[in-house]
Amino acid sequence: MLEQIDLDLRLNKHEYRQRLVDLQTRLYHMEQALFEARVPALFLFEGWAGAAKVRTISVITRRLDPRGLRVHSITPPRTYELQYPWLYRFWLKTPSYGQIAIFDRSWYRQVLAERVRQEVTVADWRSHCEDIVAFERQLADDGAVILKFWLHISRGEQGRRFKKLLGDKTTAWQVTEDDQWQHRHYDEVRDAVEDMIARTDMPYAPWIVLPATSAHYVRVAAFDAILNALEARIGRPSLPDLASREEMLDTSGVSFRRGLDLLRTGGARPIPLPAPHNGASVEASSPDAHASISPAGVSVLRRVDLSRKLDARTYDRKLNQLQAKLRLLGFQVYLQKRPVVIVFEGWDAAGKGGTIQRITEKLDPRSYVVHAIAAPTGEDKAHHYLYRFWRRLPPRGQIAMFDRSWYGRVLVERVEGFARPDEWQRAYAEINEFERQLVEFGTVVVKFWLHLSPEEQLRRFEERQTIPYKAWKLTDEDWRNREKWSQYEQAADEMLLRTSTPAAPWTIVEADDKRFARIKTLRTLVRRLEAELGKVKL
């Protein structure tokens, strides 16, 4: 999903300057409040070489009191560090209660390198991810606020930046061998990053992907995310009404010194935290605490080019061809005894039903089943939300299509408040665990988001109102959902980012034109199945 991120988000210089002062001041006060509350914080900056991690960190820390802060630049381990278990050196760098630790690269540096360069076995790689999850959970349970940033630029942008740096003798040294290697293997690294995020994205230590083409944008977005996460934990400190920055500094000096004395005399115990897990503490705070953690500006959906169309003749030709291939692939699914799960999510009236129909039209009716998922009833309602999907899983050799799915938890249930914030926030990890178990069993998992413009949706709603045989499809609820378009868009964006993995990727389908949408869906499906089951010939 990373390739879909809107990397063009910018902020003009004037707006940036205006916001920067405010953000720096707020973080400065937050730093003191954090110290008083004895809450430790860890902010990790990972990202592409050339994405300007260091400059971003520098702007964020510039106005902070250095006594409350440590910046750690993580290089490969020294010889003496290899004498200890691998997380040893990171434990030593955990912040004291009340301090902020900022990591320029982190423990993820190693797992990313291992995965991309295939230095360790898959089992060992997973075991390292487990170590990380345990490490971060232990710190979070102990009260730490943890945010993990991925600074994202495109391959082209990375190339341009390298070229510029290399063209100047005084900056050429900044582009290392390693960086060049990364650039040549951009796609593999991107896959590894998605996998790493899916395995380690937890409510108590979330990943935040920041588009980093614009330096102004990435700084403001990082500030926002940090401030929101800290406010969610300890509340908003009251800003003193000060005339000058100098005065502020003096005040803080006193406060810090008092704190340090307290620490030295050993008089203070860390304050007890509201609840061991993040879910609960977010719940206790403002309702939009989490939402604002993922910067509102980052949208993969706004980038989708909805003008794509297909003429009727090409459509007919391609449809016939793809359906014929699908029929053969359906037979292979049966022969090779592989289960297949296809998920359809998307806006109301985006054409999910019609697309599914085009898929099943020529399939052997014994080879597939379609589950239309509405609100749970009966025993499904009396169980864990994943229960009704576990019981509808296809056996080996069968295809199951889900017209809406478990993703309802982080879409409709989130937006409509049917799930509590702690419930839908932990659902990303639960869904990743669920799909991982399917994939490890050998299931082919394919997921489509059918994307529509609000204008086209309106046109289709009105059409449904006027055409009698389509009228039953349109309910009052559809109109109500439409009013919450931007909330649904935000939920879908976050879902796409947090649950797309190389083994169970999302495909966004441009669905303003039905013909285009159907062909893209069928083509994607044929390609995925061919990749898993082998090519078929007509």
Q: Does 170 bind a copy of itself (CB under 8 A)?
A: no
Specify the stretch interacting with a copy of itself by CB under 8 A; choose among 48-56, 127-135, 451-459, 470-478: 127-135
Q: Does 257 bind a copy of itself (CB under 8 A)?
A: no
Other beta carbons within 10 angstroms of residue 148's beta carbon come to 22
Residue number with CB closer to a copy of itself (66 or 378): 378
Phi, psi of 323 (to 5 degrees): -65, -35
> Per CB under 8 A, which of residues 408..437 are in contact with a copy of itself?
420, 422-423, 426, 430, 433, 437
Q: Does 485 bind a copy of itself (CB under 8 A)?
A: no
Give the span between the Cα atoms of 509 and 310, in whole angstroms: 13
Q: Does 258 bind a copy of itself (CB under 8 A)?
A: no
Mark residues 311-340: x for contact with a copy of itself by CB under 8 A, - for none: ----------------------------x-
Binding-site size, a copy of itself (CB under 8 A): 65
Q: Does 181 bind a copy of itself (CB under 8 A)?
A: no
Instruction: Report in angstroms how near the CB of residue 80 gets to a copy of itself at its nearest.
Output: 7
Give the span between the Cα atoms of 260 and 246, in whole angstroms: 21
Q: Does 130 bind a copy of itself (CB under 8 A)?
A: yes
For 112, the 3-state DSSP assignment is helix
- Are the C-beta atoms of residues 212 and 152 closer than 8 Å to each other? yes
Q: Does 84 bind a copy of itself (CB under 8 A)?
A: yes
Instruction: Report in angstroms how near the CB of residue 15 gets to a copy of itself at its nearest.
Output: 39
Instruction: Report in angstroms how near the CB of residue 412 gets to a copy of itself at its nearest.
Output: 15
For 117, the 3-state DSSP assignment is coil
Residue number with CB closer to a copy of itself (36 or 422): 422
Residue number with CB closer to a copy of itself (317 or 420): 420
Work out which of 113, 215, 227, 263 binds a copy of itself, going by CB under 8 A.
Answer: 263
Query: Which are the contacts of 15, defined by CB distance < 8 A and separation ≥ 6?
Result: 216
- Are the C-beta atoms of residues 352 and 346 closer than 8 Å to each other? yes
Instruction: Report in angstroms how near the CB of residue 460 gets to a copy of itself at its nearest.
Output: 31
Specify the stretch interacting with a copy of itself by CB under 8 A; choose among 43-51, 122-130, 207-215, 448-456: 122-130
Q: Does 15 bind a copy of itself (CB under 8 A)?
A: no
Instruction: Report in angstroms how near the CB of residue 434 gets to a copy of itself at its nearest.
Output: 8
Instruction: Report in angstroms how near the CB of residue 367 gets to a copy of itself at its nearest.
Output: 14
User: What is the DSSP track for 138-168?
Assistant: HHHHTT-EEEEEEEE--HHHHHHHHHHHHTS
> Per CB under 8 A, which of residues 266..295 are in contact with a copy of itself?
266, 269-270, 272, 275-277, 279-280
Phi, psi of 202 (to 5 degrees): -125, 150
Residue from 256, 267, 326, 301 nearest 99 by CA: 256
Residue with tokens 């055409």: 467
Residue from 261, 221, 287 nearest 98 by CA: 261
- Are the C-beta atoms of residues 456 and 351 closer than 8 Å to each other? no
Element (H, E) at 94: none
What does the H/E/C string look like for 401-467? EEECCHHHHHCHHHHCCCCCHHHHHHHHHHHHHHHHHHHHHCCEEEEEEEECCHHHHHHHHHHHHHC
Token digits of residue 58? 């520098």
Up-side HSE of residue 178: CA atoms within 13 Å toward CB? 11
Mark residues 372-391: x for contact with a copy of itself by CB under 8 A, - for none: -----xxx-xxxxxxx--xx
Give the span between the Cα atoms of 364 and 203, in whole angstroms: 42
Q: Does 78 bind a copy of itself (CB under 8 A)?
A: no
Residue number with CB closer to a copy of itself (441 or 479): 441
Instruction: Report in angstroms how near the CB of residue 428 gets to a copy of itself at its nearest.
Output: 13
Tell me whether strands 399-403 and 368-372 are parallel, antiparallel or unpaired.
parallel
Residue number with CB closer to a copy of itself (124 or 311): 124
Binding stretches for a copy of itself (CB under 8 A): 38, 80, 83-88, 91-92, 94, 96-98, 121-123, 126-127, 130-131, 134, 138-139, 141-142, 263-264, 266, 269-270, 272, 275-277, 279-280, 339, 377-379, 381-387, 390-391, 393, 395-397, 420, 422-423, 426, 430, 433, 437-438, 440-441, 443
